[in-house]
Structure 1
């Protein structure tokens, strides 16, 4: 049973994740180079953790390739995430990322071959209304919002894939390979990135300010390795429902932090906050509705099982009651 300290720790972890976009805004190097450093440092640190714990991390070729490929999806997600924060604002970036729940409700049934629940369609429509309101009042930030939406879609995709991987493999091993895959993805992307996107500028692997190295270290060690390790530990104390509900507060914490740190630069129109509020209410309602309909479905199954058991017991009783008469007929014959 989680205590008050556990609840505070969980919210602190979500606060750290909300701070990620702010770090991306503060760091001067571009998004691709930033993700390269973040994933490189995270992979090295997680490698040390695995060695220290003597956790075996050798995998079959197929499993290893799946995790490395998923890592490349993660690198694309983070690149678009930081690019969104840089070309627009942290608030716009986090508003777009709040749609990850919508993307998950679409992708999960497609990948895992399950039916789409009616309430998921309703939640999706509400989120679309919220996005329409944001786009209508913040069209100047349309590029940043589109980047965040694609980033949220990729986040939902690798989350669904991880849901399948975690059933067969250790979570730390998965993250190690995915961070390595994300770093490898950045390295493979570098030649195309330089040639087609920024041929004059080239790679920017050295930040303009020394403080950027501190920010990159915080991003990799605190926001990635530390936050992930503690979150996994908290999963042993909290239900998935409680975890997901709290994680949905990440955009709220991030937008508040961005306003406190950047001030008027993060001040948006009233329409933006109305649209974002619609999205957040839908996102926060999702786990409650999911739990309600899941409990209703299980209760309905239990009632059917009870009725089936009662029917079988009644049939058995009727058969037993008829047996003496049948035996009497046999004896008389």
Structure 2
């Protein structure tokens, strides 16, 4: 269990850089995600072929894994859209609602009982988001996109929990991101028609940021988080990922001075979210000690 929590928190730390990189990369959200998926898929293919861990799967297995990959691509599109329409702090804090959606989707999809404690903790997170939404009207579009992003992030974790019971994490990660890339490529002409971009090619700085985003914040982060999912519940994984905004917000304050544009409602909402994470972690530790006793 300790190893799983270490893997989980390292993946959360890496995830904290995704919002910062999304702000630094000058491409729009569609092209940003397309390049991220391209670099990641090629990297995984080379890595897994070299290691001999890449497995060929029949179409009946590729389809459910690939569908989850499409959910990942949608999550990223809305996540970076949220950052582009607001800022890093708003975009990443909306991601905290993933725990609420997980508490709802996990019992419905996996046909288990609703956990009252999970729902209460999630409502605390929701209250924090509502504080920001109500009092900080200039970022409402970004907040709405961020909430949709959190919904897809929750679906991704719940679906992955089912997949890792049948397949290894390497196979799942490769097919998810590869199919997500293929599907996004098919829709990119329509996307660029609806949301045109001044340029299709990344700058030299963008290339460096995209490589960091793909290799450290995607390949390493996803393998770590999916390994942790083998021993930790989807709700706990997503709630721990609520720490991602803390890392991202601190870096955004330092790099972009976003603290100059945020009001007291933002900090009150952030406090509610941090409290929900602390309470859930205390609850998980207490449950684990009770089981061992």
Scaled by the length of structure 2, the TM-score of the pair is: 0.88
The runs of 5 or more residues in structure 2 that have no matched partner are none
Q: 2:58, 2:198 → 1: CA distance?
A: 34
Instruction: Output aligned runs, 1:1-333, within 5 Å.
Output: 11=9, 13-195=11-193, 197-198=194-195, 201=196, 204-207=199-202, 209-230=203-224, 235=228, 240=232, 247-264=241-258, 267-289=261-283, 292=286
Give the 3 Å change call, closer, same or farther, for CA 247–167 of structure 1 in structure 2: same
SS of 1:145's equivalent in the other structure is: helix
Alpha carbons of structure 1 residues 185 and 88: separation in structure 2 relative to 1, 3 Å: same
Work out whether residues 92 and 141 of structure 1, in 8 Å CA contact, stay in contact via their aligned partners in 2.
yes
CA 1:293 to 1:139, structure 2 compared with 1: closer, same or farther past 3 Å?
farther
Q: Cα gap change, 1:204/1:67 in structure 2, threshold over 3 Å: closer, same or farther?
A: farther
CA distance in 2, matches of 1:21, 1:168: 32
Q: 1:254 to 1:243 in 2, by over 3 A?
A: same
* Cα shift at 1:38: 0.6
Instruction: Measure how far apart 1:223 and its partner are.
Output: 1.1
Shift of 1:61: 1.3
Task: Output the aligned Cα RMSD.
Answer: 2.9
SS of the equivalent of 1:99 reads: helix
- Summarize deviations over 1:136-189 as a string: whole Å, max 9, x none: 221110110111111011000011000000000010110000110111121122
Give the Å deviation of 1:65: 0.8
In structure 2, distance between residues paired with 1:267 and 1:249: 21
> Where in structure 1 are there 5+ consecutive unaligned residues?
303-333
Tell me how far apart the structure 2 counterparts of residues 112 and 106 of structure 1 sit (CA, whole Å): 11
Matched residues, number? 290
Larger Rg: 1
Q: Is this contact kept in 2: 1:71–1:180, CA < 8 A?
A: yes
How many angstroms apart in 2 are the aligned matches of 1:74 and 1:36?
A: 12
**Distance of 2:129 and 2:21 partners within structure 1:** 25
Normalised by the size of structure 1, how large is the TM-score?
Answer: 0.78
Pair 120,91 (structure 1): closer, same or farther in 2 beyond 3 Å: same
